[in-house]
Structure 1
């Protein structure tokens, strides 16, 4: 480990859950979907709290996730420290997940975190091991460390420097809407994770049914 390489164990890591999507293919709010007796958002938050502080849930005030906040928080109490969960509602609307990423990274920087683990709300098999493996991929020059499986990159399963928020904001202002656009613009390191199931997300009802069947 060189002098410029951060010590993974000493890095303060915030968590960012991008929960403001419209869930068109699912037909209902993915954040509130039941997964093993709790809302999917609650499971993701609970896992992130094992490694991240604070955990920032990014969802606009008009989003289904935010409008269902009372129900979600009421059911999510077991295993979750509510004092370490914050809602970020000022994401730019109409620009896709990049708007949530910018808002979340800016809020994480304001909270004093140099890095933030970023994920989506629809990843029910996520585990602390994913965060650990990505954290070990950080170097002094790295702006983003993202997961990769045999098929593709997963920019919504990665660790980002919080000071990259202005860079990504400039991309959005220039018309970029792809999460891949962010990692193409940043100094990005890709990590092949040991458990691909951590990266599974659910976009449609059939995805959820299939995943439930496999997990039994």
Structure 2
């Protein structure tokens, strides 16, 4: 059990999907719920959402907070969420519906051990499952891409199938050829 707050990043524009990814059903569950469950199962507490359709998230039973600067991107959303808490947080993109507690725990363990920013990696890429120690998002990082922000982070190798994100309707069809 980590006891760190878990934050589901739900404020993106979902332009490629064409509808709010937080509410897209994968295996019969909204993606935001799948990610929140992985955080809960990894021991994160509380689990909350950052940005997006707050009334819609509340209808799913999820607590949410408005982005300080909507459309500023995930690094700013993480900074906003981190400012609400005294210690480290764990932030995860809402479009990772196959995420599991073991993956979240591995990222937490790596970051906690060195009290440094840690990020899930697979196939040579960073994926938005991050352990964020206090002050890891300086105001000058706002506007930076995730890639720039995590460039000096601890990379935590994880199973690529668990962190495969769903960004487009085609990604959904690949998961369910009947669609």
- The aligned residue for residue 32 of structure 1 is 23
Secondary structure at the aligned position of 1:93 is classed as coil
Deviations 1:83-142 (A, max 9, x none): xx5312143123211221111111233xxxx22211111111000010121123235544
TM-score with structure 1 setting the length: 0.74
Asked if 2 retains the 8 angstrom alpha-carbon contact of 1:54 and 1:86, the reply is no
Which of 53, 56, 67 is the aligned partner of 1:68? 56
Would you say 1:120 and 2:93 are equivalent positions?
Answer: yes
In 1: Cα distance, 2:154 partner to 2:9 partner? 21
Aligned length: 177
Structure 2 gaps of 5+ residues are none
Where does structure 1 differ by over 4 angstroms across 4 or more consecutive aligned residues? none
Which of 134, 140, 156 is the aligned partner of 1:191? 156
Give the Å deviation of 1:72: 2.8
Give the Å deviation of 1:148: 1.0
In 2: Cα distance, 1:132 partner to 1:152 partner? 19
Q: Which has the larger radius of gyration?
A: 1
Would you say 1:44 and 2:35 are equivalent positions?
Answer: yes
Deviations 1:42-85 (A, max 9, x none): 121122112200112001xxx3x324235433xxxxxxxxxxx5
Secondary structure at the aligned position of 1:164 is classed as coil
- The aligned residue for residue 91 of structure 1 is 68
Aligned residue runs from structure 1 range 106-145, under 5 A:
106-109=83-86, 114-138=87-111, 141-145=114-118
TM-score with structure 2 setting the length: 0.87
In 1: Cα distance, 2:157 partner to 2:29 partner? 29
In 2: Cα distance, 1:140 partner to 1:41 partner? 28
In 2: Cα distance, 1:212 partner to 1:118 partner? 27
In 2: Cα distance, 1:149 partner to 1:34 partner? 24
